[in-house]
Amino acid sequence: MLIAIPDMLDADQVGRVRSIIDAVDWIDGNATSGHQSALAKKNQQLPEGSDAARAAGAIILEALGRSPLFIAAALPLKVYPPLFNRYGVGETFDTHVDSAIRIQRGSDFRIRSDLSATLFLEPPEAYDGGELVIEDQFGVQKVKLPAGQMILYPASSLHHVTPVTSGRRVASFFWIQSMIRDDAARRILFDLDQGVQRVTAELGGKDRAAVQLTGVYHNLLRRWADA
C-alpha cells in the first residue's frame, strides 16, 4: 500500500534539516548503491554516517516516533538511519527495486526492507521533473509532495525518479522493517486501526463494539507480528 503522510516535518523542522545538510559537501550517490542501482542511479548523496547525516536524521527519527499515522501504517520494528539525496538538472534514478536487506556500514545493524520511505525536503514548485514513480498493483503512481511530507510504499515495488529538468530535488530516504512482514496483512491491520479510531471517536472508548474491535486488532497483531 502507498500511504502519504502529511506534515511529517513542519516548516521549522524542514528548515533545521536543510540548514544542516546544505552546509556540507555531498558525494556521488552510488557510494551506497548495489550493482543494479549503480547502473541506474545518477544523483548526489550526503555521506552515510557523517555528522550531518546523523544530526539531520535524528530530527526525522524523532518526528517518526510522534506520528500516529506512520506508526499505524508501518508498525515499525526497525528504521534504517535516514539518508539524504539530491538531484540536479539531468539527474535521475532509473527503474529499480530496493535491496531486501540493508546493512549499515561499519556496524552490525541490519534490517529487512519491508517498506521504503521518501521524505520531500524541497517545495515542488522549486524544481521541474523529479517525480517518484511507483508501480504497484493499482498501476503507476506519480508522487511529488510538498516539503515536509512523506510517502510510504512497499520496498518490493518497482520505482524510479524522473529526470530533473530545472531546479534541484532534495529528499531523505530510508527503509523500515515492519513487525508485520506481509504487506496485505499490514493493510488489513491499518484499515482496521482506522476503523477502530472512527468508531471510538463516534461511540466512545467504553462502547462494547469499540472494545471488541480493539480486541480483534490486537489479537490479529499478536498472531501476525514478529517482535
204: CATH: 4.10.860
Residues 174 and 192 reside in one and the same domain? no
Residues 139 and 33 reside in one and the same domain? yes
> What distance in Å separates the CA atoms of residue 126 and residue 122, rounded to the nearest whole number?
7
CA distances from 13 to 19, 131, 159, 167 (A): 10, 23, 27, 22
Residues of the chain with pLDDT under 70: 31-39
Residues 100 and 197 reside in one and the same domain? no
The 3-state DSSP class for residue 197 equals: helix
pLDDT at 203: 87
Q: How many domains does the chain have?
A: 2
pLDDT at 38: 57
> What distance in Å separates the CA atoms of residue 26 and residue 85, rounded to the nearest whole number?
9
> What distance in Å separates the CA atoms of residue 172 and residue 199, rounded to the nearest whole number?
35
Residues 122 and 161 reside in one and the same domain? yes
Residues 212 and 104 reside in one and the same domain? no
Asked if residue 83 lies in contact with residue 46, where contact means CB atoms within 8 angstroms, the answer is: yes
Task: Report which of 24, 47, 41, 34 is spatially closest to residue 87, judged by C-alpha positions.
Answer: 41
Residues 106 and 74 reside in one and the same domain? yes
DSSP 25-85: --EEGGGG--HHHHHHEE-EEPPTT-HHHHHHHHHHHHHHHT-HHHHHHH-EEEEPPPEEE
Residues 105 and 162 reside in one and the same domain? yes
Residues 167 and 194 reside in one and the same domain? no
pTM for this model (two decimals) = 0.93
Residues 34 and 19 reside in one and the same domain? yes
Residues 71 and 45 reside in one and the same domain? yes
Residue 72 domain boundaries: 3-178
The secondary structure element, H or E, covering residue 150 is: strand 150-154
Residues 189 and 89 reside in one and the same domain? no
CATH number at residue 119: 2.60.120.620
Residues 64 and 20 reside in one and the same domain? yes
